[in-house]
Chain A
């Protein structure tokens, strides 16, 4: 389907006529557009490598394991940021994935037909809200609410765990995770929905035919079948969560530390780049920030490739089988 004309007009030498050279030019032009993707890939890798060469050379692997970030003394360790990125993203996944999959199930199998399209549109609108606006809302609405209502309750009930001890500031790792959860809800929901929709109807019909109830059909015929794709949707959400910048920067607390308490402020890779890039006065400082960017890029590319492979394996296999 993606190359509908391939069999109609051969690109080879068969087509000889007065229109030959414009055809070539247009083909070449379109090809440069496609090639731009490859160029972008190379450009981003090269620029980040070039920008961080000094730091790569000076610190080596110590950069990733060092936990001291002290620009004044030119000591740079990325561990607190990597930790913050992962912890806030994992919190986001824990909140967002069950909600998203639940919503996707509702949208594909349970909701009344008239409601499906409007609800999908609303979720797409959720995705359109810019990060900085979630951050603004986070600072002035979410943080005060969490600080006065939710966190004290959490501390009272689950305070025996080290994660929920210590002073409550409102801003902090957990708040960062909550805001990222909101931001990845739309993508995880829409990919999960796509995955669930690619489950062949035959599968559902067979389960119904065996006398399964609606919920049993969803659980046995749909969910177990789509498991891998749903996992892919979650991993795709992780990829987005790792790179979330503005909203996280505004609520995570921006303190490079590794604390057991989730109420404590933290810092993420993207946030430290956003905050300190224009302040980086020494070349080594700037290089260290570029290296953080390189780490972030490597992580997100790795996670995205993993997720896309998983999601595609299921959605394309199904369309092939049905077709």
Chain B
């Protein structure tokens, strides 16, 4: 009987092995310095890179974090420190439901909120779409981290006469800082590879974008358009881009694990 379950576990992890193997095999061969610094070349010319897409992905992540992190963390603070059980239960439930809505829907929302009024695709729209996705994620992880801070810390601070806000800002948040950081990185890792919400918000760009109100390239978008193109050289570049993206995402995910493990060890239990 045991064999059956081992087989299940092996089948579940095997796709990861295969995808990493092919990424390494096909991706490494196509990565060179040009890939990181150059713009994509027009059809028919070999070479070129995804420099603009790599920068664009970081810009979009930055914009998304500007929206998602403060709102999500504040919401998480509210759920952990204030509010009645009933209200908080509903918010938590709603956040979980939002976490399950398809990411492409958030692209449509950002299209309605930014692209239509501004009459054009832009980095703002892409960042907002990703920010929408980050809010419920950051909220849930922040709350989970804050409730791990021992109650005695809060009691001690309040007993010393600290007002409640100071207790949270000076005692609870610094104690949970690493945990919150881990949660924020987790949310960033989750949106870094999102493609669907960027298709009609950030839109993609073959050049460097100078302003945030212009369309902007992003690594996942570039991988998508190269993967479905008919050119071998573009397929090669898609694998290279995919390797870079996976390394970025896995790096974030390993960082999350290290930081949160380290932090949980430091907490008195």
Binds B, one of A27-35, A58-66, A224-232: A27-35
| Chain A residues with CB under 8 A of B22 | 137, 140-141
A5 touches B151 (CB 8 A): yes
| Chain B residues with CB under 8 A of A4 | 80-81, 147, 151, 154
State whether the Cβ of B163 lies closer than 8 Å to any Cβ in chain A. Answer: yes
Determine the main DSSP class of A at the interface with B: helix
Q: Complex formed: what's the CA distance from A144 to B220 in Å? A: 23
Q: How near does chain B come to A141, taking the closest CB pair, in angstroms? A: 5
Of B12, B19, B151, B228, the residue contacting A133 (CB under 8 A) is B19
A36 touches B85 (CB 8 A): no
Given A128-B249, A301-B97, A308-B97; A137-B18 close (CB under 8 Å): yes
A102 touches B139 (CB 8 A): no
Q: How near does chain A come to B21, taking the closest CB pair, in angstroms? A: 9
State whether the Cβ of B109 lies closer than 8 Å to any Cβ in chain A. Answer: yes
B249 touches A37 (CB 8 A): no
A82-107, CB under 8 A of B: which get 1 and which 0? Answer: 00000000000000001110110111
| A-B interface pairs (CB < 8 A), number | 295
Q: Complex formed: what's the CA distance from A111 to B5 in Å? A: 9
Binds B, one of A67-75, A161-169, A240-248, A258-266: A240-248
Determine the main DSSP class of B at the interface with A: helix
| Chain B residues with CB under 8 A of A301 | 97, 100-101
State whether the Cβ of B33 lies closer than 8 Å to any Cβ in chain A. Answer: no
Q: Complex formed: what's the CA distance from A49 to B9 in Å? A: 43
State whether the Cβ of A110 lies closer than 8 Å to any Cβ in chain B. Answer: yes
| Chain A residues with CB under 8 A of B238 | 136
Binds B, one of A14-22, A150-158, A200-208: A14-22
Number of chain B residues close to chain A: CB under 8 A:
98
B18 touches A131 (CB 8 A): no
A47 touches B166 (CB 8 A): no
A123 touches B102 (CB 8 A): no
A277 touches B200 (CB 8 A): yes
B79 touches A2 (CB 8 A): yes
B residues touching A (Cβ–Cβ < 8 Å)? Answer: 1-2, 4-9, 11-13, 15-16, 18-19, 22-23, 26, 70-85, 88, 91-98, 100-106, 108-109, 111-113, 132, 135-136, 139, 143, 147, 151, 154-155, 158, 163-169, 189-190, 192-196, 199-200, 203, 220, 223-224, 227-228, 235, 238-239, 242, 245-246, 249-250, 252-253, 257
Return 19 A-B CB contacts under 8 Å, by A number.
A1-B147, A3-B80, A4-B151, A5-B167, A27-B164, A36-B139, A48-B109, A48-B112, A102-B9, A103-B5, A129-B19, A131-B193, A136-B223, A136-B242, A236-B100, A244-B102, A278-B200, A290-B108, A301-B97
A residues touching B (Cβ–Cβ < 8 Å)? Answer: 1-6, 8-9, 11, 15, 17, 19-20, 22-23, 25-27, 29-38, 40-41, 43-44, 47-48, 50-51, 98-100, 102-103, 105-107, 110-111, 119, 121-126, 128-137, 139-141, 182, 185, 189, 214-215, 236, 239-240, 242-246, 250, 270, 273-274, 277-278, 290, 293, 296-297, 300-301, 304-305, 307-308
A33-B76, A36-B139, A103-B12 given; name 15 further pairs at CB < 8 Å: A99-B8, A99-B12, A102-B7, A105-B5, A119-B9, A130-B195, A131-B196, A132-B220, A132-B242, A136-B242, A137-B18, A140-B227, A189-B12, A245-B102, A250-B224
